[in-house]
Each structure stands twice: as C-alpha cells, then as structure tokens.
C-alpha cells in the first residue's frame, strides 16, 4: 500500500509496471527556496520502498532556475545510489535546452512524451 505525504510542488500516481509518476505542479520554479522545497519533496519520495522507478513529468513547468537544475542532479545521484531508476519527460523546449546545456541529459534519460518514457522503462 502506498502511503503518500502531502506535497506542495508534486503529485504522485502509480502507473503500470510499478512506475511512480511524479508530476511537478509548480509552473515557475525559480530561486533557492522553491528549489529546496522541491528537493525535500523528492527526498520524501525516493525513500519510499515502493518508489523504485520514477518518471518525473515537467509538463506544467515553464521556468527552472539553476538551483532547480542542481536539485534534479541531486535527485538523479540519490536515485542511482539507491539502485532505483529515474527518467524525465515532457519538458518545454526552453527547459529541455537548459537541461542539455547543464548536461542533465548525460546523467538521465529525457523523453519527449510520457508514453515514450514508460516504454523506455519496459526496455530495460
């Protein structure tokens, strides 16, 4: 059974094949305070026994500060250390460009669509 804490910036749902969909709800993630809040919420999720495969959906996000990107790198690092999996999907073109500039696409997969990311999990 999945017990989920209350979150301000993310919404969780379970997809097929035990993939946890993490939808980021906050449109504008700028500044260290928001990034730290998001990071704290990610921390709560990755320490759950049922959170082995995470799919982070950025569909609603339009702005992400450098601190926000640092939080994403930290998420990937923690997930890898815990032998879990994480993939990102549906980033707006300007967000995707930022992710590529800082090298986020070198440490985890970024997919155009949620469906493509789900399919990529099943190919592992």
User: What is residue 94's three-state secondary structure?
Assistant: helix
Rounded mean pLDDT of the chain? Answer: 93
Decide: residue 61, CB within 10 A, 0-12 exposed, 13-18 middle, 19+ buried.
buried
Look up tokens 């495969």; give the residue.
53
What pLDDT score was predicted for residue 81?
95
22 band by pLDDT with thresholds 50, 70 and 90: very high
Residue 47 CB partners (closer than 8 Å, separation 6+): none
Residue 8 CB partners (closer than 8 Å, separation 6+): 25, 26, 37, 41
Q: Nearest-CA neighbor of 29 among 91, 113, 103, 110?
A: 91
Other CB atoms within 10 A of residue 90 CB: 23
Walk me through the domains of the chain, giving residue ranges and CATH numbers: 17-122 (3.30.750.24)
The torsion angles phi and psi of 95, rounded to 5 degrees, stand at -70, -40
pTM of the model: 0.93
Q: Above pLDDT 90, what percent of the chain?
A: 89
Residues 38-74 pLDDT 10s = 999 999 999 999 999 999 999 999 999 999 999 999 9
Rg of the chain, C-alpha, whole Å: 13
Q: Are strands 63-64 and 28-29 parallel, antiparallel or unpaired?
A: parallel
Residues 99-113 pLDDT 10s = 999 999 999 999 999
DSSP state of 38: H
Q: Above pLDDT 70, what percent of the chain?
A: 95
Is a pLDDT exceeding 90 seen at residue 14? yes
């Amino acid at each position: 059974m999945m017990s989920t804490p209350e979150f301000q910036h993310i919404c969780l749902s379970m997809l097929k094949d035990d993939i946890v969909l993490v939808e980021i709800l906050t449109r504008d993630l700028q500044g260290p305070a928001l990034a730290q809040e998001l990071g704290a919420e990610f921390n709560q999720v990755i320490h759950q026994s049922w959170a082995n495969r995470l799919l982070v959906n950025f569909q609603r996000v339009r702005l992400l500060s450098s601190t926000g990107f640092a939080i994403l790198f930290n998420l990937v690092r923690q997930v890898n250390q815990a032998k879990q999996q994480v993939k990102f999907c549906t980033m707006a073109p300007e967000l995707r460009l930022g992710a590529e500039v800082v090298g986020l696409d070198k440490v985890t997969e970024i997919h155009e669509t949620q469906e493509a990311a789900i399919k990529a999990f099943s190919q592992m």
